[in-house]
Amino acid sequence: MDQIDPTAPPSGTGCVDCDAIGAWWLHLRRCAACGHVGCCDSSPNQHATAHAHGTGHRVVQSFEPGEDWFWDYVDGRFAHGPQLAAPTAHPADQPVPGPAGRVPADWASHLH
């Protein structure tokens, strides 16, 4: 796809938008066009989808250790893509949900 830039590094090790507001996330997704790391649709803030809708960047890749699948928001299905620039996941010792210290005790009740 012409919207995928395999050289774009990830914006960080966590959801950049959640970090900015002191929030937490369940799973992370990485924009395949620009590297923006956002939280998944099960997370309270759903920043990955908001980024896709706000920018038109339609494809994300999972930013979870051991996962390499892509998702196309426009087609609403899994997609194929090239190897993206490292790192391809958040650090393995980063908790899920995360980050440590921001996740409420009743976190499961906040999921979508």
Q: What tens-digit pLDDT sequence spans the chain (112 residues)?
A: 678 999 999 999 999 999 999 999 999 999 999 999 999 999 999 999 999 999 999 999 999 999 999 999 999 999 999 999 999 999 999 999 999 999 999 999 999 9
Q: What is the pLDDT of residue 10?
A: 98
Distance CA(16)–CA(2), nearest Å, equals 24
User: Which of 96, 112, 109 shows the shortest CA–CA distance to 24?
Assistant: 96
Dist CA 68 CA 82 (whole Å): 10
Closest CA to 111 of 40, 53, 47, 51: 40
Give the mean pLDDT of the chain. Answer: 97
pLDDT of 2 reads: 76
Would you call 34 exposed, middle or buried from its count of C-beta atoms within 10 A (0-12, 13-18, 19+)? Answer: middle
The CA distance from 63 to 71, in Å, is 12
Q: What is the pLDDT of residue 1?
A: 62
Q: Output the pLDDT for position 3.
A: 87
